[in-house]
């Protein structure tokens, strides 16, 4: 798997933090500063992946967020210490109050997946660079 580009510009952004609700806008702002201007799809992906950690693994979970260039796009990775809690792409109905996060991610990402390790998992996605990054 080709992951990090040796000619990445701007350089990769890596942040370690606790997955708490106030961290989501802080990471979004860090992405805006790092990537410059319009990076709405990257921000959406990071928000959804961090939100999933908060909801399904637990608030206060230590995570690593990595964002960098790959081929013609941007890759986002969120790593948490629970390899057992995996994301599931649901098809929420009009009456459901949640369950749309991965549907949004699936719609904007050209591809996404999960890499499991013995003591962690990384949920990743890639979005086209386009005008955004």
- Asked which of 4-8, 10-14, 32-36, 62-66 is least confident by mean pLDDT, the reply is 4-8
Separation CA 121–CA 113 (nearest Å): 10
User: Is the pLDDT confidence value at 1 over 50?
Assistant: no
Separation CA 99–CA 89 (nearest Å): 8
pLDDT at 103: 83
Q: What is the CA radius of gyration of the chain?
A: 14
Q: Which residues pair with 76 in a beta bridge?
A: 67, 125
- Structural domain boundaries, residue 87: 13-128
CB 58 within 8 A of CB 85: no
Instruction: Note whether residue 7 is domain-resident.
Output: no
Report the CATH number at residue 89: 3.30.565.10
User: Is the pLDDT confidence value at 2 over 70?
Assistant: no
Please report, rounded to a whole number, the percentage of residues in the chain having pLDDT higher than 90.
59
- Asked which of 22-36, 71-85, 89-103 is least confident by mean pLDDT, the reply is 89-103
Instruction: Note whether residue 4 is domain-resident.
Output: no
- The number of domains in the chain is 1
pLDDT at 96: 55
Alpha-helical regions (H) of the chain? 23-35, 40-52, 101-108
């Amino acid at each position: 798997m080709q992951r990090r580009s040796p000619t990445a510009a701007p350089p990769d952004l890596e942040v370690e933090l606790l997955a708490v609700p106030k961290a989501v806008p802080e990471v979004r702002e860090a992405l805006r500063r790092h990537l410059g201007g319009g990076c709405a799809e990257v921000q959406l992906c990071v928000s959804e992946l961090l939100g999933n950690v908060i909801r399904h693994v637990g608030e206060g979970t230590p995570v690593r967020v990595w964002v960098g260039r790959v081929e013609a796009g941007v890759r986002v990775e969120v790593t948490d210490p629970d390899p057992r809690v995996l994301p599931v792409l649901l098809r929420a109905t009009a009456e459901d109050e949640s369950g749309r996060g991965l549907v949004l991610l699936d719609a904007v990402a050209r591809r996404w997946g999960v890499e499991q390790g013995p003591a962690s998992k990384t949920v990743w996605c890639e979005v086209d660079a386009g005008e955004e990054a």
